[in-house]
Chains A and B, each alone.
Chain A
Amino acid sequence: MVRVKSRYLLCEINVPDRSRLFLLDDRAVAAAVKAAVARMHGDYGAALCSIRFSVKYLNAHTGIVFLRFPKKCYRLLWSALPFITCIETRGQKIECFLNCLHVGGTIRTCQKFLVKYNTQQLHRMLPKCKSEEERSQVREAILKCCLTRGNKQEFGEESDSEDDEEQ
C-alpha cells in the first residue's frame, strides 16, 4: 500500500584488530558513511544521505550494522560504502572496510538473513576448531541457535517465548 519505502543494507564491519571493534558506536558509523558519500557524490550525495539515512542496529561484538537508505537513491549511496577505510570514534581511527552481506526491503528480511548467516558461520567454525574446549563452546553456541530454530516451528507457545527470554 502507501508507505515510505526504504532499503536496509546488512553490512559487516571488518577490522584488523577485533578488540577495537568495541569502540564503535552507531553515531560514528553514521558519520563515516555520510563523510564517504559526501566525498564521492558531493553535495548532492550528502543531501540524499541526510534525508532518511540512519543506522538502525549495530552489534559491536560481531560488527554487524543495519543501514537504512531511501529506496530511491540507495544504489548511489551504496556505491560510496566501499570507500570507507576508517571510522573515527572516541578520538581514535579504526581502520576498517564495510562488506555488504544483504540488501532487504524491510528490517525483518535482514534479520532473517542474519539468523541464517550467523548459524552458517558457526557451522563453518566448528571443523576449524583447534582445542577441545573451543570445540565444545562452538558446539554449544550452534545448539543454541538450532534449538531456537526448532522452536520456531511451534510458534506462539508461551513457554517457548519464556525460554527465549532466559537466553
Chain B
Amino acid sequence: MSSSKAKMREKKMKNQPSSVQYSPSTTQNGGGAVVSGGGQLMERPKTPHQSAGWSRGHQRDGGSYAKEMPKCITAGAFARARAAEVSSMLKAVRKTTGSCHVFGALPKHMRRRAMSHNTKRLPRRLRDVAERMREKSLQAGSKKKEQAKNKSRKARRRHGNLLLEFNRRQRKNVWLETHIWHAKRFFMVKKWGYCLADKPTSKCYRPCYRALSSHCLLQDLSYYCCIELQGEENNLLASLSQLTSKETGPTFAAALSLSGQKQGSVVMYRAGCYPLQPLGPVTFLWRPQSQGSTLRQLWIWAHPTMKKDLLTELQTVCQCDEAVAPPIVPIEQKLPVTPEDKQIAGTKRKQTVKDISGPPAKKLLGDGTRSPTTPVSWKSNCTGTIINDLTMEMVRFRLIGPQSHTVLAETLEVATKYGESDKLKPSSLWWPEHCKEESKMVLHQEQADAYHLLKGILSAGELPPGTVLGLTVEDPRLTLPTKKLKALPSVQKAQEVDEEKSRELMLKGVPKHCCQSSLWDRSVRDNVTENRISEKELNHLRGELLVPGSRLSPAPPQSSVPVLLVHQPGKQLGHEMSSWGAGWDLLLPKGWGMAFWIPLVYRGVRTGGLNMSLKHSQNKGVPHFPHDYPDCTSGALFQDEQEAELLEKFRRRPPAKRTNYIKHGCLAPFRCPWQQLAEEWELILIEEGKKKDSQTTRGADEVIKEETTSLRDMTAAKPVSCVSVLRCRKSLRLLSGWCRPTTSKGQRLCRVEKVPQLDHPAMTSFLTAHGMSLVWVRLLMPSKGKPELHAIVCAPTAEDLQLLDKGPGSSGPQEPLHRDHFKSRRKGSTKTATSSLPSEKSEGQMSHLLTASEEPKPSSKASSGFTAGLWPDPLPSVTSHCSRVTLGWVTQGDFSLSVGCGEALGFVSVTGLLQTLSNQEMKHRGILLLRNPTSLHYRFVKVTIEV
C-alpha cells in the first residue's frame, strides 16, 4: 500500500475503536481510555474468582450475576470497562467518516449539492462549525500562494530584474553563453557544475544523424575547460612527458603538433603511473612559435570532470605551487559583476530602492560560480612556467559533418582592413592597432587566402586531421540572412579555386604561419570581449540605413573578431566509413557566443546536445569521456551516478512490472564490475596454467612451465592492482590482428602487416604484460538484434559455433531461465505463509537444465537493502554465472544508423578474449555472443578491435 493510501486509511480509521486485547509480550494492546481502564484490571493480580457456573457479561437474570458480585472491585472495574467501551463506541458512531467536512456527518438524504461551497445549505446547527472549517482551509490555501508570488510577473520580467535573477541562478551551475537559447529548445541537465543541453525537446534523432552524416551539426562545447601553460619549450615537454606515454600514440612532443599546425589528442596519466591511473583524454594546441622567442604557449582542453585532477597534476609536474592572484585581478575587475551581484541579491528580499542606487545589473560572462578571489594562475619559481586556468574564457563551438566548412564559409567573412586615412590615430580597439603593422597584415592576407581555399573542398573529412587556421573575421551578425537557409556547397565556387592549391591544402594542411591568431593574446581577447557591439546598438545602426535590409558598411571597427578554426578528425579507426563525422571547432573570445551562434543556426545546421555527442562518438567507434573510461576516477564516478539513476528508475516501477534480472541470469544490469571480472579471469588463467603444468611435465616443455610459473609469481606479487584499459598501440594492433578471421573472403589482408601466429607462447607473453587489462572492442551484429546498455559479452561454445554453420539465418542459443533464490526469503519477510508453489512448479521444468554450479547459496546478507529482481551484494562469480562464460560488458549499444545493424561498444577482459580466441577455429575467429540484460537470447557478434 502506498503511503498516501495508508494515510487515508489511517485518517478514516482514526475514530474507529480498535480491538482491546492483550498481546503476550506487552501487557496492553492499543491505547486510549479503554485500556487505561483495563490496565487497572490487569494490575490487580489474580483475584481468586468463584468459578461456579457461567458468568455472563450481562444479566438477564440478576441471580447469576449476583453470584459474582461479592467481589466489589470486579464490579467497579467491570463498570469502568463498560463505560470505556461505550465512550469509544459513541465516538465511532458519531464521527462517521474520516473526511473533515461537516456534511460528512449528515445522513445521505439530507446532503445537498454544493454544501461545501455555500454553508447556508447546511442545517443551522452545523453552520458554525462549517464556517470555521472553511476559514481554516482558506487560510491554509492563501499561505501557500503568498510564498510563491512576491512580485508581479511584469516586474519580474523587466530587463534588469531578469538579469539579476539569471545571475542568481548562475551562481551554482555555470551557464554557457547560449544557455537561454538552449533552454528554450532542449532538456537541460545540471552536470559537472554546468547547465548543459541534453537532447532536444523536438523529435529529431534521425534528422540529427542525417545532419551528422551529410550536412552539419552544431554543438556548444564551451564547457570544456582550457588550461594554458606558458614557459620554455624544453621545460614544458619534460614535465608533460611524465603525464603521457609514447605507447598510446603521439604525445605533446609530436612534431606536427609542436609546430602549432595541428591539434593533438592524448590520454593523460598521473605522473609516472602509466598504465595505471589515467586522468582522461585531452586535446591540446601549441601556439606557433613567434620569431626570436623560446617562450611557448600551450592550451590543454579537458573535460570538466577531470579538470581538477589534471590541474593539480600539472601543478606538481611543473612545480607551479605559487598561486598568482594579482595578474588575474584586473580581468576580474573588468567584470565587476560578481561581487556587486552578490550584494544586490543579498538585499533583494528587503525590497529596497536598490534599483536606483545600485549600478544596473550586467550580464554575467565567464564562470559565475567562481569567487573572485580564487586563484586561476600559478607560477613556478625555478622554471618560470605559468599555468593559467582559462575555464569559460573562450567559447568553443563544434560543427560536425561534411558540410561544416561550407557553413563556416558562409557565416564567417574575413575582416576588412581598416581604412588608410585614420591609420595614425591611436585607438583603444585592437583591430586598428593591429592593422598598423605591415607584417601582421600580410599574415592576415595569407590567412584569408587559405580560408578561401577551404571553400573549394568537398567534404570536411578531406583535410588532414587536426588542421588549425587562425583568422580574423567580421561580426557575423552583419551578414545575417533574413531567412533561415540551408548552406549548400556551390560548385561554381569550388571551380573558381585553384585546383593545385587546394590539393596542396588537402595534403599538407594549412601553412605553418597561418596558424597564428590574436586569440592567443589575453589582452586582445579581453579587448574584443569588452568592445562587443550590443544587439541593441547594432539594431540601431541598422535602423539608420537608407535602404532597409542592406548591409552595414563600412563595418564598425569593433566588429573584427580573432577566431581559431580547428579541424576535428572524423572516424580514424577501422576501414569502413573513414573520416565520418569530421568537422571544425570554432574558438571565440568569450562574450561572442550568441553573436556567432545565431548566424550559424541561420545556415540551416542542426543543433545537438550531450546525447548527440555520445551518439557521435559511438558511430565513430571511439570511447566517450567519461562514459567509457572505467579506469579513470571520473569514469568510475560516472558509473556510480549512472547506477544510482538506473536503479532509481527501476525502483519506480511497480514490483510486478519489473524485470527479474535474477531469473535472466544478469548479475549487474546497472553497473559493470570490471575489477571483479579482471580478477576472476586472472584466477581462471592460473588454474589453466596449473592444468597445463601437469600435462607439460610429462611432455617436458620447460619453457611454458617457466612462463606460467613466472606469471603466477607476478600475479601473486601484485595482489590488489586496479583494472586498467589497454591503450598501448602496439599491443592493440597485435590483438586486433588476432581477432580477425584469416580465411574470410571479405577481408583485405594485404593491407594488414603480417601478424604473428596466435599460439601459446605468444599468448602467454602477451598476458604477462596485460593480464589485468580490459580492451575496448566494437561488436557488430550481423543478424538481428539491438544491443543495449550493459549487455553481456560471452564466449560461445563449440556447439554454438556449429549452429552458426547451419546458415546465416540461424539465431543464437538460449540461456536457460535462472531461479530466483531470493523470492522465498522475500515472501517470508512479508509474513504470508503461503508457499510459492506455482512459481516453483514452472521453474521445476527448467531446473533440470541448471547445472549444480549455478545454484549458489543465497548470500547471508539481510534483505534490508534488497530490491526484488536484483542480485544483492556481494555478487557471485560473474564469469561463470551464466551457461556461457562472460567476457565483458557493453557500455554503448544501439542500432547503428551508419552501419545498418546493431552495433555495440564495450570492454572485454584481455585474458578472456585471448583464451576464447585461441580455442576457436580459424574460420570462426572473432565470433562472440552478446545477450541483453532483459533477454535470454544470445546473438552472434563479430568482434573487432580498431587501431
The interface of chain A, by Cβ under 8 A from chain B, is 12-19, 22-26, 55, 57-64, 90, 97, 99, 107-108, 111-112, 114-115, 117-119, 121-122, 124-125, 128-131, 133-134, 137-138, 140-142, 144-145, 148-149, 152, 155-158, 161, 164, 167
Q: Does B2 contact A (CB under 8 A)?
A: no
B55 (CB) vs chain A CBs: closest residue: A18
Stretch at the interface among B59-67, B583-591, B674-682: B59-67
| A125 B22 Cβ-Cβ under 8 A | no
| A129 B49 Cβ-Cβ under 8 A | no
| B85 A18 Cβ-Cβ under 8 A | no
* CB-defined A-B contacts under 8 Å, sample of 26: A16-B53, A16-B54, A19-B47, A25-B19, A58-B21, A62-B82, A107-B92, A108-B93, A108-B96, A115-B93, A118-B82, A118-B86, A121-B82, A122-B82, A122-B83, A125-B59, A129-B75, A134-B72, A142-B83, A144-B86, A145-B83, A155-B126, A156-B102, A156-B105, A164-B90, A167-B84
Residues of A within 8 A of B90 (CB): 115, 148-149, 152, 164
Residues of B within 8 A of A16 (CB): 51-55
| A60 B70 Cβ-Cβ under 8 A | no
Residues of B within 8 A of A119 (CB): 86
Stretch at the interface among B38-46, B425-433, B454-462, B777-785: B38-46
- Pick from B53, B57, B83: contact of A63, CB below 8 A: B57
- Pick from A19, A57, A60: contact of B17, CB below 8 A: A57
CA distance A47 to B701 in the complex (A): 78
Q: Does B24 contact A (CB under 8 A)?
A: yes
Residues of A within 8 A of B73 (CB): 134
| B93 A148 Cβ-Cβ under 8 A | no
CA distance A161 to B20 in the complex (A): 21
The interface of chain B, by Cβ under 8 A from chain A, is 16-24, 33-34, 37-38, 41-42, 46-47, 49, 51-59, 62, 65-66, 68-70, 72-76, 78-87, 89-96, 102, 105, 125-126, 129
Q: Is the interface of A mostly helix, strand, loop or mixed?
A: helix
| A144 B19 Cβ-Cβ under 8 A | no
Residues of A within 8 A of B20 (CB): 58-61
| A133 B55 Cβ-Cβ under 8 A | no
In the complex, how many angstroms separate the beta carbon of B311 from the nearest chain A beta carbon?
65
Residues of B within 8 A of A149 (CB): 90
Q: Pick from B49, B58, B68, B105 the residue with the most CB of A within 10 Å.
A: B58
| B94 A138 Cβ-Cβ under 8 A | no
Between A and B, how many residue pairs show CB distances below 8 Å?
179
| A117 B58 Cβ-Cβ under 8 A | yes
| B41 A61 Cβ-Cβ under 8 A | yes
In the complex, how many angstroms separate the beta carbon of B12 from the nearest chain A beta carbon?
12
For the complex of A and B, 4 pairs with smallest distance between CB atoms = A137-B76, A61-B81, A141-B83, A141-B79
| A61 B34 Cβ-Cβ under 8 A | yes
Residues of B within 8 A of A18 (CB): 49, 55, 68, 74
Residues of A within 8 A of B18 (CB): 57
B108 (CB) vs chain A CBs: closest residue: A1
- Pick from B46, B79, B86: contact of A125, CB below 8 A: B79
Residues of A within 8 A of B22 (CB): 22-23, 25, 60
In the complex, how many angstroms separate the beta carbon of B116 from the nearest chain A beta carbon?
15
In the complex, how many angstroms separate the beta carbon of B591 from the nearest chain A beta carbon?
65
In the complex, how many angstroms separate the beta carbon of A108 from the nearest chain B beta carbon?
6
Residues of B within 8 A of A133 (CB): 72, 76
In the complex, how many angstroms separate the beta carbon of B104 from the nearest chain A beta carbon?
11
CA distance A155 to B219 in the complex (A): 70
In the complex, how many angstroms separate the beta carbon of A34 from the nearest chain B beta carbon?
16
Residues of A within 8 A of B54 (CB): 14-16, 97
CA distance A161 to B102 in the complex (A): 13
CA distance A156 to B927 in the complex (A): 80
Residues of A within 8 A of B80 (CB): 137, 141
In the complex, how many angstroms separate the beta carbon of A165 from the nearest chain B beta carbon?
8
Q: Pick from B46, B89, B102 the residue with the most CB of A within 10 Å.
A: B89
| B55 A61 Cβ-Cβ under 8 A | no
In the complex, how many angstroms separate the beta carbon of A29 from the nearest chain B beta carbon?
10
Given contacts A26-B19, A129-B69, A155-B125, is CB(A112)–CB(B93) below 8 Å? yes
Q: Pick from A57, A118, A124, A161 the residue with the most CB of B within 10 Å.
A: A118
CA distance A18 to B92 in the complex (A): 26
Residues of A within 8 A of B84 (CB): 61, 167
| B58 A17 Cβ-Cβ under 8 A | no
In the complex, how many angstroms separate the beta carbon of A62 from the nearest chain B beta carbon?
5
CA distance A16 to B50 in the complex (A): 9
Residues of B within 8 A of A164 (CB): 87, 90-91
CA distance A161 to B90 in the complex (A): 11
A126 (CB) vs chain B CBs: closest residue: B79
B58 (CB) vs chain A CBs: closest residue: A121
| A152 B85 Cβ-Cβ under 8 A | no
| A155 B105 Cβ-Cβ under 8 A | yes
- Pick from A60, A145, A152: contact of B21, CB below 8 A: A60
| B57 A138 Cβ-Cβ under 8 A | no
In the complex, how many angstroms separate the beta carbon of B40 from the nearest chain A beta carbon?
10
